[in-house]
Structure 1
Amino acid sequence: MTPKRLFSIFAIGEAITWALLILGMILKYGTRTTDVLVSIGGGLHGFMFLAFFVVTLLVGISQAWRPWVTLLGLASAVLPFTTIPFDVWASRTGKLDGPWQLAPGGRAPRGGVEKAVQWAFGHVWLTAGVLAAFVVVVFTTLVVVGPPGS
């Protein structure tokens, strides 16, 4: 899977879960009919937000994005639906072009973080499992703590 494809999947997924959460809030606070979609949409959005964060860091590091581009990518998840315009912009400006640069046979890593990412790409299934577990642990912790102000 290319960086472009992976990033696009998570950018679209993050936007879809924003829509679910917003719809849930409209039903709960606007129509006062049900709050079930806030629980479902909120949970899915929280999980996807964390996963998008991880994917953005991996893509940004591998594709040698400038720090401000990576920060902009991370910030795009904060406002509803802005991951999609960021994805389009990153695609049009070549930020998502080509294969994984730090994958085996790619460019030489510069520094410890890139060495760790290169190692991770050499151990894809282990890395995927560890990152998935990380997202699950953080998500579960946040669910147990509860929403702000509760």
Structure 2
Amino acid sequence: MAPRTLFRTVAFAEAVTWTLLLIGLFLKYVTSTTELGVSIGGGLHGFVFICYVMVSCFTWVNEKWARGTGLLTLVSAVIPYATIPVEKSLDRRGLLSDSWRLTSQSVDPQGLLEKLQAWVLRHPLAAVVTAVVAATAIFSFLLFLGPPDTWFD
């Protein structure tokens, strides 16, 4: 999947899961009908949030974004629906390409992050398994910690 397609897909998924979370919060706190929406919507949103951060960082390395651009993509995940206008802006400015720079053996990766990205792109199956395991481990650890509002009690 091209950087442009991957980033756009995950940015959209992040916005969709914000909707699920907000519906769950509405059902819990406004109608007092159920907490199930927060459990399901919050869990899905948390997992997609982690995936969005990982994809943003991976795309940042590929596109060689300026620090401010990369940080903007990360901050956009925290603000409901902000990933969509950020993605549209990046696409409009030509900052999302249709190919991965480091897939070619003729391109010499510079630095640790590019070397890691080159390995990922040249070994996609192993990389996907590693990424899913990493995202699941992070997600599981956060589930172990419990809801964010209980972290500092």
- The bucket for the TM-score relative to the shorter chain is over 0.9
- 1:76 deviation in Å? 0.6
Give the structure 1 partner of residue 36 of structure 2: 36
Aligned pairs for 1:77-116 within 5 A: 77-105=77-105, 107-116=107-116
TM-superposition CA deviations, 1:31-74 (whole Å, max 9, x none): 11111110000000000000000001111101111121111111
**Secondary structure, in 3 states, of the residue corresponding to 1:31?**
coil
Unaligned runs of 5+ residues in structure 1 are none
3-state DSSP of counterpart to 2:103: coil
Question: What TM-score comes out, normalization by structure 1 length?
Answer: 0.95
After superposition, the C-alpha distances for 1:97-139 in whole angstroms (9 at most, x for unaligned) are 2311122257432212111111111011111110111000000
Match of 1:124 in 2: 124
Q: TM-score, normalised by structure 2?
A: 0.93
**Judging changes above 3 Å, is the alpha-carbon distance between structure 1 residues 141 and 9 closer, same or farther for their aligned structure 2 residues?**
same
Counterpart residue identity of residue 87, structure 1? E
Identity of matched residues, % = 38
What's the counterpart of residue 135 of structure 1? 135
1:50 aligned onto 2:50? yes
**Letter of the aligned partner of 1:103 in structure 2?**
T
Listed as ranges, the matches of 1:11-26 within 5 Å are 11-26=11-26
Structure 1 ranges of 4+ moved more than 6 A: none
- Structure 2: distance between partners of 1:105 and 1:8: 26
Which amino acid is 2:7 matched to? F
Contact 1:100 1:106 in 2 (8 A): no
CA RMSD, Structure 1 to Structure 2 (Å): 1.2
